[in-house]
Amino acid sequence: MSTNNKLLFLPGDGIGPEIMTQVWRVIDWMDKRRSVTFDITQGLIGGAAIDETGVPLPDETLEAAHAADAILMGAVGGPKWEVLPFEVQPERGLLGIRKELGLFANLRPAIVFDALADASTLKLDIVKGLDIMIIRELTGGIYFGEPRGIEDMDGGDRRGFNTLTYTTPEIQRIGRVAMDLAGKRNKRVCSIDKANVLEATVMWREEMVKVGEAYPEIELTHMYVDNAAMQLVRNPKQFDVIVTTNMFGDILSDCAAMLTGSLGMLPSASLGLSDERGRQSALYEPVHGSAPDISGQGIANPLAQILSFSMLLRYSFDMFKDADFVDQAVQNVLNLGLRTSDIMGEGMTRVSTSGMGDAIINELDKLAA
Ligand code: IPM
Ligand code: MG
C-alpha cells in the first residue's frame, strides 16, 4: 500500500471544476479497490484565484505547489477576465507556476484512439495509429526572454518587443529529455527550429547535435518549423518524438492535437528537475482549454483530465498498473460507443460529463474483478 502521496488539485476555470470532479471519483475508486491513498489539497489558480484573491497565482497556491509531489490542473481563462490588465490575467497564473516550479519539459502526446480515428479532419489512412510525442521547452525562449514590453516612440508611435533567448544548459536538458523518451519509443527525435533565420535557434540546433552524440542509438533529424507544420498535416506518422522551443511547441502541439480529431482527449505533463529526495516537480493538465462556452452544462469531456491523472500515476509515482487500468477503462468506454458531444459520431451514444464518469467507474470495476 502506498500512502501519503501529496497531490495538489487546481481545478481553475470554465469546465475545469466539472471535469476534475470525475477524477475525484477515479481516486475514490482507487482508494477503495486498490488501496492507493492520496493526500489531496485544493488550490486556486487563474480566474478563480483572481475572483477570490485579486491575483492569478496566489502565494498560498505556490507554497502548496512546492509542497506537493504532483499537481493536477484543470484549465484557466475565460472572457470574464480578458478585460483585466495583461499582468493579472489568468494566463499569467499558468505561466507563473510553470516558471516558479521550473517545469521546463512539456510532454504533449498526440495519439489517435482507434475508436475515434474517423473524427479527424484528415483522411483515415494518414492518421490511423498515429502516436507522436511533442516535447516543448516550457520555461525559456520568447515566452520569458528579456527585454520585453511596449514603449512609446517619438512622434506618438509605439514599439513592441520580445526576445528569443536560449542558453546551452536550457537546450541540453530538454534535448536529453527528448532522447531518453525516444529511447523508450521508436528511437527517433526530430528537433524543430528556424535556424535559417534566428541565431538563438542556430545554437539550438548545434547544441541538439552535441546532445545527440551521447545517444548513438537515437536517430536525430532537424527541420525548420514552417516545413514541420506542413509535414505534420502531410504525413504525421513520419514523426516519433518532436523536440522544440516554447513558442514553436505551443503552435505545433495545437496542430498535432487537432490531427487526432479529439482535442478533448489529450493529456499533458510538465516536468521539472529533481530535488534532493529525487522527487521531480510535475504538473499534469489536459491540452484543451477551459471552454467557457460549454461550462456549467454538464456536457464537457472529462477524458483528457482523467488521462492526465493516469500520466500523473505513471510519471510521478511509477504506478504503472493503476495507470494501465485507467487507460484501458478509457479505451473500453470508447469501444462501447459512448461519446460526449465533442467527439459524438453517427450511431454512437451521447453521454454527459458525469455519464462518462459513471462509465469509467463501471469499466474500472470490470477490470479489477
Ligand atoms: C498552452 C496555452 C498557454 C501557452 C497559454 C494559455 C498561456 O496555449 O498551454 O499551450 O501559450 O503556453
Ligand atoms: Mg497553446
* Across 184-196, average pLDDT: 98
Which uninterrupted H or E stretch holds 280? strand 280-286
DSSP 59: H
Quick one: how far is CA 115 from the chain centroid?
Answer: 22
Least confident window among 12-16, 118-122, 219-223, 250-254: 118-122
Residue 51 is among the residues annotated as catalytic for this protein: no
Say if pTM beats, i.e. exceeds, 0.95.
no
What range defines the domain where residue 106 resides?
A: 1-111+261-369
What is the pLDDT confidence band of residue 1, given thresholds at 50, 70 and 90? very low
Q: Is residue 77 part of a domain?
A: yes
In this structure, the residue with its CA closest to atom 1 of ligand 1 is: 250
Among 237, 259, 281, where does a domain finish? 259
CA 277 to ligand 1 center in whole angstroms: 30
Q: Is residue 218 part of a domain?
A: yes
Q: Which atom of ligand 1 is nearest to the CA of 285?
A: 9
Q: Is the pLDDT of residue 282 over 90?
A: yes
Compute the chain's Rg from CA coordinates: 21
Q: Is residue 116 part of a domain?
A: no
Q: Could you tell me if 283 and 353 lie in one domain?
A: yes
Q: Is the pLDDT of residue 275 over 90?
A: no
* Across 332-349, average pLDDT: 94
CA–CA dist 207, 67 (Å, integer):
34
Indicate which residue of 13, 69, 193, 250 is catalytic: 250
Count Cβ neighbours within 10 Å for each residue of 110-138 and write b for 16 or more, e otherwise. Answer: bbbbebbbebbebeeebbeebebbbbbbb
Residue 240 is among the residues annotated as catalytic for this protein: no
What is the pLDDT confidence band of residue 328, given thresholds at 50, 70 and 90? very high
Indicate which residue of 28, 39, 226, 318 is catalytic: 226
Give me the number of domains the chain comprises: 2
CA–CA dist 205, 212 (Å, integer):
10
Q: Is the pLDDT of residue 35 over 90?
A: no
- The model's pLDDT over 229-242, given as tens digits with 9 standing for 90+, comes to 999 999 999 999 99
What is the pLDDT confidence band of residue 324, given thresholds at 50, 70 and 90? very high
The CATH number assigned to the domain holding 344 equals 3.40.718.10
Measured from the alpha carbon of residue 289, the closest ligand is 1
Q: Could you tell me if 255 and 268 lie in one domain?
A: no
Q: Is the pLDDT of residue 279 over 90?
A: no
pLDDT of residue 145: 97
Q: Is residue 119 part of a domain?
A: no
Place of cell 471544476: 17
- The model's pLDDT over 89-103, given as tens digits with 9 standing for 90+, comes to 999 999 999 999 999
- The model's pLDDT over 307-317, given as tens digits with 9 standing for 90+, comes to 999 999 999 99
Indicate which residue of 31, 39, 180, 254 is catalytic: 254
Tell me the helices (H) and strands (E) count for the chain, helix number first: 12, 14
Q: Is residue 357 part of a domain?
A: yes
Q: Could you tell me if 135 and 82 lie in one domain?
A: no
Residue 254 is among the residues annotated as catalytic for this protein: yes
What is the pLDDT confidence band of residue 261, given thresholds at 50, 70 and 90? confident
pLDDT of residue 87: 87
Q: Could you tell me if 136 and 253 lie in one domain?
A: yes
- The model's pLDDT over 41-91, given as tens digits with 9 standing for 90+, comes to 999 999 999 999 999 999 999 999 999 999 999 999 999 999 999 889 999
Among 241, 259, 277, where does a domain finish? 259
Measured from the alpha carbon of residue 254, the closest ligand is 2
Q: Could you tell me if 253 and 301 lie in one domain?
A: no
Q: Could you tell me if 254 and 146 lie in one domain?
A: yes
pLDDT of residue 3: 52
Query: Which residue type is seen at 17?
Result: P
| Beta carbons of 323 and 269 less than 8 angstroms apart | no
* Across 334-361, average pLDDT: 96
Q: Which of 91, 143, 287, 308 gets mutated to test ligand 1 (max ligand atoms within 8 A of its CB)?
A: 91
Among 236, 259, 282, where does a domain finish? 259
In this structure, the residue with its CA closest to atom 2 of ligand 1 is: 250
Ligand 1 pocket check for 255: Cβ under 6 Å: no
* Across 193-205, average pLDDT: 98
Tell me: cis bond preceding 216? Omega within 30 of 0 counts.
no
What is the pLDDT confidence band of residue 223, given thresholds at 50, 70 and 90? very high
